[in-house]
Amino acid sequence: MLALETVREFVLDRCPARTPVSVPVADALGLVTASEIVSAEAIPQFANTAMDGFAVRSADVVDAPCDLRVVETIAAGHAPQVTVGPGEASRIMTGATIPRGADAVVMVERTSLVNPDSTAADGPGSEDGAAEIVRVEVSVPPGNHVRPVGDDLHAGTHVFGVGTELTAGHLGVLCSLGMTEVEVFPRLRVGVLSTGDELVDDGSPLRPGQIRDSNRRTLLALAHRADVVPVDLGLSPDDPDEIEAAITTGVQTCDAIVTSGGVSMGDFDYVKAVLDRIGDMRWMQVAIKPAKPLAFGTVGDVPVFGLPGNPVSSMVSFELFARPGLRSMMGHPDPVRPPVTATAAEDLPRRADGKTHFMRVLATPSGGGVEVRSAGGQGSHMLWAMAKANALAVVPDGDGVRAGGSVDVLLLD
């Protein structure tokens, strides 16, 4: 058997990053930057208010409370038209530009109107009535509630480096910089194929020996969670010609292929026979449980991950090998999910067998750390426990981990 690290290194060496492309910012969520992002302009580009209130000269309100004439109302998106002079103020809404002459904002909650029936539009000297007067109840320092130019970013700031996975916040920053496209490593199209005479997926009653295909739907969902475009290649019986046709179609339309089933050493493992004929494959037994058998290689230049057929095994194998390989192809500098140290809330028993066990566990916060307990049955066919688990405990060879002991875990959510 081969060590996990050896096999994963073999996979990653054969999954280099794809050639970068430019994509619309709207389509870049989850993708990885292929070039450095530098701010071409300041954010914000103009001084604006962080509060609804009144823009004032701070020198005028040193001896507050005091009364000021309201000379203008400034809404967000509209440029100020009047300079604030001595004894004057402008009503201002959050995000609006600070008018000339003003150097501070008094929040509206610390003011009151002396003549509430007047309006700023009537203005000083208006024929329609007296100017509006606001009473400022507190003194404020220069810059109070003012967001200066470049408060978030200055022009020329190195914003995001190469290898940054773009989240919702990142996309917001790109939009605020006026960017409509961004250079990234492309999103992959990943084909998923299930194989086996025993599998059905049409909802019909099972005949003797049949089981319902869960792997394809599970692996398509895992691919989606890995920020690739999942492509359903369907369900193929144990027929070499049909398996070859499905894989050939996938290779022509996808950047990578994930299959489940048919990669062990049995007489009916036709996936192995087909891939040996049309691809450059390596068949491996990995020193882990579950997910010991793994096939990996290429058909043409398209990576193919041949995962085991047991449902839990296929999910664990995807997590340990396919997901890192796909992330490597999409430019992630650290494609392997990092482990965190947790405390076992109960015994996590196992038998010594020369393998590392990946136990399905429930991880919960506890005392500033993480504690884990078994999610249920640990058989490679027990999909319910895997569905309840949100982490895999990495239990080294031996007798397991006692309650209170430390264990590395991979947090899946």
CA distance 271 to 275: 6
Domain 4-18+188-329 shares a fold with domain 48-147: no
- Hunting for tokens 């009503």 — which residue is that? 91
Q: Do 154 and 44 touch, CB atoms closer than 8 A? A: no
- How many other CB atoms sit within 10 Å of the CB of residue 187? 20
Higher local confidence (pLDDT), 125 or 395: 395
The pLDDT of residue 312 is 96
The pLDDT of residue 13 is 97
The pLDDT of residue 131 is 86
Q: Give the residue-averaged pLDDT of 99-121.
A: 87
The pLDDT of residue 104 is 98
The pLDDT of residue 120 is 52
Task: Work out the pLDDT band at 122, boundaries 50, 70, 90.
Answer: very low
CATH architecture, range 21-44+151-185: Alpha-Beta Complex (3.90)
The pLDDT of residue 113 is 94
129 pLDDT above the threshold of 70? no
The pLDDT of residue 102 is 98
CA distance 317 to 87: 73
* b (16+ CB within 10 A) / e for 238-248: beeebbbebbe
Task: Work out the pLDDT band at 264, boundaries 50, 70, 90.
Answer: low
336 pLDDT above the threshold of 90? yes
- Does the pTM surpass 0.85? The reply is yes
Task: Work out the pLDDT band at 217, boundaries 50, 70, 90.
Answer: very high
- Closest to 216 (Cα-Cα) out of 251, 264, 258: 258
Q: Dihedral, CA atoms, 259, 262, 264, 269, nearest 10 degrees?
A: -150
The pLDDT of residue 263 is 72
The pLDDT of residue 287 is 98
Write out pLDDT tens, residues 15-37. Answer: 999 999 999 999 999 999 999 99
Which CATH entry fits the domain spanning 48-147: 3.90.320.10, 2.40.50.100, 1.10.3720.10, 2.170.190.11?
2.170.190.11
The pLDDT of residue 355 is 97
**Cβ-Cβ contacts under 8 Å for 235 (sequence gap 6 or more):** 193, 194, 195, 199, 200, 201, 213, 216
The pLDDT of residue 266 is 57
Identify the CATH number of the domain defined by range 340-411.
2.40.340.10
The pLDDT of residue 197 is 85
Q: How large a percentage of the chain has pLDDT more than 70?
A: 96
CA distance 233 to 301: 18
**Domain extents in the chain:** 4-18+188-329, 21-44+151-185, 48-147, 340-411
If DSSP states are collapsed to H, E and C, what string results for the chain?
CECHHHHHHHHHHCCCCCCCEEEEHHHCCCCEECCCEECCCCECCCCEECCCEEEECHHHHCCCCEEEEEEEEECCCCCCCCCCCCCEEEEECCCCECCCCCCEEEEHHHEEECCCCCCCCCCCCCCCCCCCEEEECCCCCCCCCEECCCCCECCCCEEECCCCECCHHHHHHHHHCCCCEEEEECCCEEEEEEECCCEECCCCCCCCCCEECCHHHHHHHHHHHCCCEEEEEEEECCCHHHHHHHHHHHHHHCCEEEEECCCCCCCCCHHHHHHHHHCEEEEEEECEECCCEEEEEEECCEEEEEECCCHHHHHHHHHHHHHHHHHHHCCCCCCCCCCEEEEECCCEECCCCCCEEEEEEEEEEECCEEEEEECCCCCCCCHHHHHHCCEEEEECCCCEECCCCEEEEEECC
CA distance 182 to 34: 9
229 pLDDT above the threshold of 50? yes
Write out pLDDT tens, residues 394-412. Answer: 999 999 999 999 999 999 9
Write out pLDDT tens, residues 143-166. Answer: 999 999 999 999 999 999 999 999
CA distance 391 to 342: 11
Class of domain 4-18+188-329: alpha beta
Lowest-confidence segment of 114-128, 327-341, 364-378 by average pLDDT:
114-128
The pLDDT of residue 123 is 43
Look over the chain and give the mean of its residue pLDDT values, rounded to a whole number.
Answer: 93
